[in-house]
Amino acid sequence: MSPTADTALPTSIDDTLARLAALDYVADRQLATGVYLALKLQRPLFLEGEPGTGKTEIARTLAAMLGRPLIRLQCYEGLDLAGAAYEWNYGRQMMEIRLAEGTGMQRDALAAELFSERFLTKRALLQAIDPANAVPPVLLIDELDRADEPFEAFLLEVLADYQITIPELGTVKAPPGRPPIVILTSNRTREIHDAVKRRCLYHWVDFPDAARELDILRRRVPGASDELARQIVAFVQKLRSIELYKLPGIAETIEWTRALMELDAVVLDPEVIQHTLGVLLKYQDDIVRLQGSEAARLLAQVREEARVVAG
Amino acid sequence: MLFGQSSPGRLAENVMHFARVLRSAGMPVGSDRVMTALAALQVAGLESKRDFHAVLAACLVDRAEHRALFDQAFVLFWRDPDLMGRMRALLLPKVNVKDGATPPPENRRLGEALFPHQPNKPPDEPEQDQIEINAELTWNDREVLRQADFDTMSADEWREAQRLLRALNLVFEPLPTRRSRRATRPGRPDWRATLAAMARHGGELGDLRWRAPRQQPAPLVVLADISGSMSRYSRMLLHFAHALGHADAKVESFVFGTRLTRTTRLLKSRDPDLAVGQVVRAVADWSGGTRITTSLHEFNQRWARRVLSGRSTVLLISDGLEHGDTTALAHEMDRLHKCCRRLVWLNPLLRFEQFEPRAAGIKAMLPFVDRFLPAHNLNSLADLVAVLARRDDDARSGRPPH
């Protein structure tokens, strides 16, 4: 296949699924539909779901799949235009003023010169829509729920029209027909404003079912034995059915598998689970709950179910 | 195939109709979303029913809690594209009894949206006494009213109390944010404005421009106990919460008896009587028993991470009379305490002068509370407003959100 065909947009939902899978991202059909539509309709894709379910990963995979650079904007409280879109380089502007004093530059000319593109520091959002980009990048706006509400308002112009208005300079707009691919993620620690969601396609990323989780695990941790992977997936799926403060995501499953392999575990046993719970569960209350007989009980259940299925 | 190839116009019409059904079932589906859905269906989604569902979901849903509603509506609506026929069938219930399959558990809201012409059950009778007040209370009466216990007020007094409540000047604890605004006093220099000014003046450095941290009222979360012993107080506190909700801070409210119900949206209605009435109707266990531990547990488990930030003040309104496992109660209180900035407990039992926290439930809860206040008359609510408005750094030393 020629390199251009490699990085072309997928042609159908099935094609999207297959090409994501080729990069070891096992998506469910609904997510693939969302991705396909986002690419086809050139709309941002808003992904919401529990932490560790592969929301950020999809942006990385898309960038690799389409051969686009990935621009990531990590949100945090107090993130403002200067951190997200652009900032004037005050130091250089100051220098320019000093130099202008020497040459006796006109006031108007100086004002125009000071706020020209030369003195602009581009941050993630502006980089993503920069008309100078050779290929439109993938823009990942990660954990939007961590930013405060005023920041969401900054995003509206970018999400709707792929443009940013800089008062001193004018409007910067992505080249027509070639906007960046925008992925927004949220862990839903708060509700994102409807105005943002309205401009996006929405998908709730759920925990994978056992078959898909096993598939993901085999691709991501190829060294794990079949038996171990099966047990791990069954155990984690079991964990998600009991009431925990924070359920383990697929990221935790992968981490745990790696940890178990480091410990040379061949099968799960209560003791090794006990020692590695901290990889899987991130709240003390949850860990306390599983300590002692509970983990052993769950494991026994998992084994029993496996025996029923096999026998 | 869902639709005949020969009738492409039918699809648009049906999608629009479907959107209308979703809208009347309470999902905010704007016409722009419908346009997106139609555009999306041009590129995908007509191969199978599953894809069709996925495409419509991606375009029309924008909230996790609407997914179940959407799925049900989808099944109902697209099971039989001839909706009109279905509606007609439903209006003639006698004829169709032999249609054996058990219907899926349909949302009542959805049912009303799909078949709006069905006679609805009559609205619940308003419980409030409908007495008109024709005379303004004198100042003296008002003084008496301020001291009066909510539990023993007459209907007139109750109404007047609500009016006074609305007149309270609601200010919340102002907290600095990480955003800044222009300021006249030296603080953080505003380089952008300074350089713009310098450019205008040909590079001469005049005065530096400044910025200062912007302040924002602390968000508030109200957790109101509506069990039998508390119902009178809680009703007034719901009025209070309603008034709070129309101040400029973010207010979330929940009520609990035997289980927890989120009432933020219900209290959004402008008319306080209407809003509180809606809450009463929506909550099944009004004036029933109370299970503080399970309710707090549910709040911690399901809502705390979504509605509490490290800046929130929590108002817990309860008498704390929990008969049951108090270690579990203490555990839940501890967690709640850790997830917010201030935990204020309003307890109407405090109106008794010789109140001592003897009940096991109260003893278990008290160590985790930052402020413990009475809430049985207007004066105590006015005191509460004062507490809320004050900058409260010594409630505990600054702590990061969990």
CATH code (residue A156): 3.40.50.300
pLDDT for B108 beyond 70: no
Residue A196: both structure tokens together? 């943002």
Do residues A70 and A184 share a domain? yes
Q: What is the pLDDT of residue B323?
A: 73
Look at residue A32 and tell me if it is in a domain: yes
CA within 13 Å, CB half, A74: 0
**B317: closest CA among B275, B354, B352, B347?**
B347
How distant, in Å, are the alpha carbons of A134, B273, B372 from that of B379?
A: 68, 21, 15
Tell me what the mean pLDDT of segment A267-278 comes to.
Answer: 89
**Rounded distance between C-alpha atoms, residue B365 and residue B333, angstroms:** 6
**Rounded distance between C-alpha atoms, residue A196 and residue A184, angstroms:** 10
A201 vs B112: which has the higher pLDDT: A201
* H/E element, B210: strand B210-217
Average pLDDT value over all residues in chain B: 75
- Which of A 156-195 lie inside 8 A of B, CB atoms? 168, 188-191, 194
Do residues A301 and A157 share a domain? no
Phi, psi (degrees; rounded to nearest 5) at B60: -105, -25
Q: What is the pLDDT of residue B142?
A: 56
CA diameter of chain A: 91
- Where do we find the tokens 């001291």? B147
Range among A161-165, B25-29, B108-112 rated most confident: A161-165
Give B274→chain A minimum CA distance, Å: 25
* B67 in contact with chain A, both atoms CB, cutoff 8 A: yes
Look at residue A247 and tell me if it is in a domain: yes
Do residues A74 and A128 share a domain? yes
pLDDT for B129 beyond 50: no
**A154: closest CA among A116, A196, A121, A120?**
A196
Do residues A165 and A271 share a domain? no
Do residues A173 and A244 share a domain? no
Q: DSSP string spanning A32-73?
A: HHHHHHHHHHT--EEEEESTTSSHHHHHHHHHHHHT--EEEE
CB contact under 8 Å between A204 and B64, yes or no, is: yes
Do residues A42 and A70 share a domain? yes
Report how far Cα B53 is from the mean position of its chain's Cα atoms. 30
Look at residue A110 and tell me if it is in a domain: no
Give A220→chain B minimum CA distance, Å: 27
Do residues A201 and A264 share a domain? no
pLDDT for A38 beyond 90: yes
pLDDT for A126 beyond 90: yes
Of A98, A150, A202, the CB nearest to B58: A202
Report how far Cα A294 is from the mean position of its chain's Cα atoms. 34
Q: What is the pLDDT of residue B97?
A: 34
Task: Indicate which of A204, A283, A284, A285 best probes the interface with B, i.e. most B CBs within 10 Å of its own CB.
Answer: A204
Please identify, among A145, A175, A205, the residue that sits at the C-terminal boundary of a domain. A205
User: What is residue B340's three-state secondary structure?
Assistant: coil
Range among A256-270, B104-118, B120-134, B201-215 rated most confident: A256-270
**B347: closest CA among B378, B321, B308, B379?**
B321
Q: What is the pLDDT of residue B48?
A: 80
Look at residue A90 and tell me if it is in a domain: no
Look at residue A102 and tell me if it is in a domain: no
* A206 in contact with chain B, both atoms CB, cutoff 8 A: no
CA within 13 Å, CB half, B310: 12
Tell me what the mean pLDDT of segment B115-141 comes to.
Answer: 43
Q: What is the pLDDT of residue B127?
A: 41
B75 vs A30: which has the higher pLDDT: A30
Do residues A16 and A149 share a domain? yes
Across B153-204, the runs of DSSP E, i.e. the strands, are 174-183, 188-189
**Rounded distance between C-alpha atoms, residue B315 and residue B234, angstroms:** 12
Task: Indicate which of B31, B51, B190 best probes the interface with A, i.e. most A CBs within 10 Å of its own CB.
Answer: B51
With contact defined as beta carbons under 8 Å apart, do B225 and B257 qualify? yes
Would you place residue A190 in the very low, low, confident or very high pLDDT band (cuts 50, 70, 90)?
Answer: confident
**Rounded distance between C-alpha atoms, residue B83 and residue A213, angstroms:** 39
Write down all domains in chain B, each with its CATH number in brackets.
Answer: 8-114 (no CATH), 178-217 (no CATH), 220-389 (3.40.50.410)
Pairing mode, strands B220-225 and B313-317 = parallel
Look at residue A115 and tell me if it is in a domain: no
Tell me what the mean pLDDT of segment A106-118 comes to.
Answer: 82
Tell me what the mean pLDDT of segment B184-209 comes to.
Answer: 83
Of B50, B200, B202, the CB nearest to A29: B50
Do residues A219 and A185 share a domain? no
Do residues A78 and A165 share a domain? yes
Give B61→chain A minimum CA distance, Å: 7
Is the entire prediction scored with pTM above 0.90?
A: no
Q: What is the pLDDT of residue A115?
A: 86
Of A69-83, A161-175, B58-72, minimum mean pLDDT range: B58-72
CB contact under 8 Å between A36 and B44, yes or no, is: yes
**Rounded distance between C-alpha atoms, residue A1 and residue B16, angstroms:** 42
Do residues A37 and A12 share a domain? yes
- Which of A 63-82 lie inside 8 A of B, CB atoms? 77-78, 80
- CB proximity list for A109: less than 8 A, separation 6 or greater: none
Chain A residues in contact with B305 by the CB 8 A cut-off are 189
Do residues A147 and A215 share a domain? no
Cα nearest neighbour of A194 on chain B: B62
With contact defined as beta carbons under 8 Å apart, do A206 and A49 qualify? yes
Range among A3-7, A140-144, B167-171 rated most confident: A140-144
Please identify, among A174, A205, A236, the residue that sits at the C-terminal boundary of a domain. A205
pLDDT digits (tens, 9 = 90+) for A77-95: 889 888 999 999 988 988 8
Please identify, among A205, A223, A246, the residue that sits at the C-terminal boundary of a domain. A205
* Domain encompassing residue A301: 210-310
Q: What is the pLDDT of residue A122?
A: 94
Would you place residue B2 in the very low, low, confident or very high pLDDT band (cuts 50, 70, 90)?
Answer: very low
**B375: closest CA among B184, B150, B49?**
B150
Residue A13: both structure tokens together? 């939902």
- CB proximity list for A217: less than 8 A, separation 6 or greater: A224, A229, A232, A233, A253, A254, A257
The total of structural domains in chain A comes to 2
